[in-house]
Structures are given as C-alpha cells and as structure tokens.
Amino acid sequence: MASSDVETLDGIGTIPEGFREDAETHKGFMEKALEMAEKALSIGETPVGCVFVANGTIIASGMNDTNRSLNGTRHAELVAISEVLKLHPASVFACADLYVTVEPCIMCASILRQYHIKNVFYGCGNERFGGNGSVLSIHSDFGIDPPYASHGGMYRKEAVMLLRRFYIQHNEKAPNPRPKKGRELNTSLEPT
C-alpha cells in the first residue's frame, strides 16, 4: 500500500483512504478485537482476537484457542467463523469485514478468501506465517475465489505489545518450552 493511500491517526495507526470518514467506527471494532486478544492472553492463549462485522454490527467474535484445545487450527478467525455460521448463511461474509489484531496466517487467509470476505483490517503483520502480504499474498493472488481487500497497521503497537507480553511468558503447552527466566518486555517498536 502506498504511503499516500494511508493516513496515520494518533492512537489508531493507519486508516486506508476511503475509510477515513468512518475512523471512529473502525477504531471501535478494532478495540473489540483487542479486547478479545486481551482475554486470550489472560487465559494463556496466543493473544489474537477478532470480530466479524456485517452492516455495521458485530456478528461474531473470536480469540485463539489453540493451547486450551490442543488444536492448531483453532485460530481466532476460525473460531469466529464457526460462530457466524451458527446464526447466518455463509453468504453473509460477502458483505462482512474482519477486524483482527494480527495479520491472518496463510491458512486463515485462504479460508477467508473462500468465504468471499469483503475487507480485512489487521493490527500488526505476521512475519512468519502472514497470508495477507507479509509472507504470501493469499488475499490478492490469482485464484478461483475473488480477492479481498486487506488493510494493516490499525493499532499495530497494541497488537505487537500483546504478542510480546505472551512470548516472554512460560508456555506449558509449547512442544519444547524455552527457558524465559530474565526476559524483559521490549516496548520499543520499529517503524513500519
């Protein structure tokens, strides 16, 4: 995304052109996703949270559930998709937006595309597994399903800090937990 396509707003991060007039609305939805990520962190899950929004209303929320369930596919997006499908037909995704604290991984990006999601707004990139441009561009690559718009950087600092708070903790569920003794939370952030 070119720098002219985004506007940086204090406390929010970047808002893409075409969405600036609704900055407060986007801010509110991303804050709900951050609340879900905080909830995940509080129970020992990787702090990723999300909300699906259709017609200006939150229709589902989710948070990572991989540690508790011992199921590596229970990402926040997939948990929330399951909730959406309990109450709505799959066609609702074509008019829905996803607000998620971390860029969807390759698996989640593929599923979002198969469900024809309209927009994805995320906080920080996912440099190891990102499917919306950090590693692969599943959201926009040539494929059978229509591409979706992806907008990163909203509440980036908050999303990164949640992840850092998680990764300095001891994770009992990790296959080979590394000693965390003496680790400190790094609060500095590289510019995007």
Q: What is the CATH number of the domain that holds 44?
A: 3.40.140.10
- Please give the span between the terminal C-alpha atoms of the chain, in angstroms, as a whole number: 12
- From first to last of its 192 residues, what are the pLDDT tens digits of the chain? 333 344 455 556 666 666 666 778 889 999 999 999 999 999 999 999 999 999 999 999 999 999 999 999 999 999 999 999 999 999 999 999 999 999 999 999 999 999 999 999 999 999 999 999 999 999 999 888 999 999 999 999 999 999 999 988 766 666 666 665 566 656 666 666
- Please give the pLDDT value at position 168: 84
Q: Two tokens at 10?
A: 């204090």
- Please give the pLDDT value at position 142: 87
Q: Two tokens at 88?
A: 């709505």
- Please give the pLDDT value at position 153: 92
Query: Is 31 annotated in the active site?
Result: no
Query: Do the beta carbons of residue 129 and residue 122 sit within 8 Å?
Result: no
- Please give the pLDDT value at position 3: 37
Query: Residue 150 is part of which domain span?
Result: 3-167
- Please give the pLDDT value at position 13: 63
Q: Would you say residue 147 lies in a domain?
A: yes
Give the C-alpha separation, 74 to 93, whole Å.
Answer: 19
Q: Would you say residue 192 lies in a domain?
A: no
Q: Two tokens at 83?
A: 């909730």
At 83, which helix (H) or strand (E)?
helix 76-87
Residue from 45, 77, 103, 158 carrying the catalytic annotation: 77
Q: Would you say residue 173 lies in a domain?
A: no
DSSP 8-state symbol, 169:
S
φ, ψ of residue 153 to 5 degrees: the values are: 110, -5
∠ CA 114-150-9, nearest 5°, is: 155
DSSP 8-state symbol, 48:
-
Q: How many domains does the chain have?
A: 1
- Please give the pLDDT value at position 64: 98
Q: Would you say residue 183 lies in a domain?
A: no
Torsion of CA 128, 135, 33, 145, to 10 degrees: -140
Q: Would you say residue 52 lies in a domain?
A: yes
- Please give the pLDDT value at position 108: 98
Strand residues in the chain grouped as ranges (E): 6-9, 13-16, 49-54, 57-63, 96-102, 119-124, 149-152
DSSP 8-state symbol, 155:
T
Give the C-alpha separation, 116 to 110, whole Å.
Answer: 10
DSSP secondary structure string, 52-95?
A: EEETTEEEEEEE--HHHHT-TT--HHHHHHHHHHHHS-GGGGGG
Q: Would you say residue 176 lies in a domain?
A: no
Q: Would you say residue 175 lies in a domain?
A: no
Q: Would you say residue 172 lies in a domain?
A: no
- Please give the pLDDT value at position 137: 94
